[in-house]
């Protein structure tokens, strides 16, 4: 019987943290495999302009994703487009990953599953998803040329989405629940110069429309007044939910479901690391995810030397 293949590093999730880990793993001549259930790049793919990644003043999410993957592959890392159903730790410390009918064995695991967009959980939100309701302005914004759209949220994503849409749509509303934005100041300055109408202190109470979105009802929390805004599309950009279900019985999570790590990206389980948006951290950006990837591999390499 042939001996089973044991990888050095398996990275679950191919966002910027995972792909940087793959680059560092490959370059350290470790047998490195990324498992990605959708597309490589993660949430970065739905970012139009990326202008805060050093030395690349003018790139975009798709371009940076493809370049990162090619860079990792150049050093021998591999990618397999499949999801992981469960992780088991064997007696010798090797980790067994179940992927459908496949079993994958590895000395270390780097968790890089990122986060997915949070929903408003309003009636009709699911029914009208793809029929006026969207979570990715870069993906679906093209449908709203010369139409009226709203974006909900006050962070970097919402403001970037509103700016992107303002170049296509005839009118853009940004609906935010407070009287100041969370987004960085550069984006705020651009927003205030863009013609986007900000609806302050307001939440969305109702989405109207049967086969497609027709309007939303907002409530201004300063006086409880309601406003009906007719729109063709609504983009919801109110943050993310960490995709940590796979490991909620395996590693320590905080109350919001983010993975707790130390500064070397180590979880509480030896040989398991977490990088990027899925871990507890103060700044979730491409650059900080990429840095995590490098740090986690450095720790994983040491663990492999000492334990396998």
Q: Which of 76, 83, 93, 239 binds ligand NAP (CB under 6 A)?
A: 239
Active-site entry in 140, 161, 232, 292 = 140
Token pair recorded at residue 247: 């490991």
Segment interacting with ligand NAP, rule: CB under 6 A, options 193-201, 215-223, 226-234, 279-287: 279-287
Cβ–Cβ under 8 Å, residues 201 and 117: no
For residue 201, state whether it binds ligand NAP (rule: CB under 6 A): no
User: What's the CA gap between 269 and 260, in Å, rounded?
Assistant: 11
Of positions 108, 157, 243, 261, contacts ligand NAP by CB under 6 A: 157
Does the protein bind ligand NAP through residue 52 (CB under 6 A)? yes
* Residue 298 burial (C-beta neighbours within 10 Å; 0-12, 13-18, 19+): middle
Of the residues 37, 182, 190, 208, which one makes contact with ligand NAP according to CB under 6 A: 182
140: annotated active-site residue: yes
Contact between 158 and ligand NAP per CB under 6 A: yes
Q: Is 85 a catalytic residue?
A: no
Stretch that binds ligand NAP, among 10-18, 79-87, 146-154, 247-255 (CB under 6 A): 146-154
Which member of 4, 178, 212, 308 binds ligand NAP (CB under 6 A)?
A: 178
Q: Are strands 32-35 and 6-12 parallel, antiparallel or unpaired?
A: parallel
Does position 161 interact with ligand NAP (CB under 6 A)? The reply is no
Give the nearer residue to ligand NAP in terms of CB position, either 82 or 182: 182
Binding interface with ligand NAP (CB under 6 A): 47, 52, 152-158, 160, 177-178, 182, 203, 237-240, 283-285
């Amino acid at each position: 019987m042939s001996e089973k293949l044991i990888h050095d590093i398996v990275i679950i999730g191919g966002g910027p943290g995972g792909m940087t880990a793959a680059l560092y793993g490959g370059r350290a001549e470790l047998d490195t495999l990324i498992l990605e259930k959708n597309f490589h790049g993660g949430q970065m793919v739905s970012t139009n302009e990326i202008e805060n990644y050093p030395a690349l003043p003018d790139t975009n999410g798709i371009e940076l994703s493809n370049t990162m993957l090619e860079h990792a592959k150049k050093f021998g890392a591999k990618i397999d487009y499949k999801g992981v159903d469960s992780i088991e730790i064997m007696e010798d410390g090797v980790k067994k990953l179940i992927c459908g009918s496949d079993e994958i064995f590895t000395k270390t695991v780097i968790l890089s599953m990122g986060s997915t967009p949070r929903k408003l959980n309003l009636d009709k939100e699911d029914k009208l998803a793809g029929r006026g309701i969207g979570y990715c302005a870069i993906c679906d914004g093209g449908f709203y040329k010369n139409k009226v759209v709203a974006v909900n949220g006050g962070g970097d994503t919402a403001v970037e989405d509103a700016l992107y849409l303002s170049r296509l749509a005839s009118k853009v509303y940004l609906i935010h629940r407070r009287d100041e934005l969370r987004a960085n100041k550069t984006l705020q300055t651009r927003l205030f110069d863009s013609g986007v109408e900000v609806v302050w202190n307001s939440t969305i109470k109702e989405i109207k429309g049967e086969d497609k979105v027709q309007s939303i009802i907002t409530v201004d929390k300063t006086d409880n007044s309601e406003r009906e805004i007719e729109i063709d599309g609504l983009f919801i950009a109110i943050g993310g939910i960490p995709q940590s279900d796979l490991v909620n019985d395996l590693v320590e999570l905080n109350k919001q479901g983010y993975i707790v790590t130390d500064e070397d990206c180590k979880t509480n389980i030896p040989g398991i690391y977490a990088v990027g948006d899925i871990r507890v951290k103060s700044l979730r950006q491409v650059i900080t995810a990429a840095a995590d990837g490098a740090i986690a591999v450095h720790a994983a390499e040491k663990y492999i030397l000492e334990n396998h």
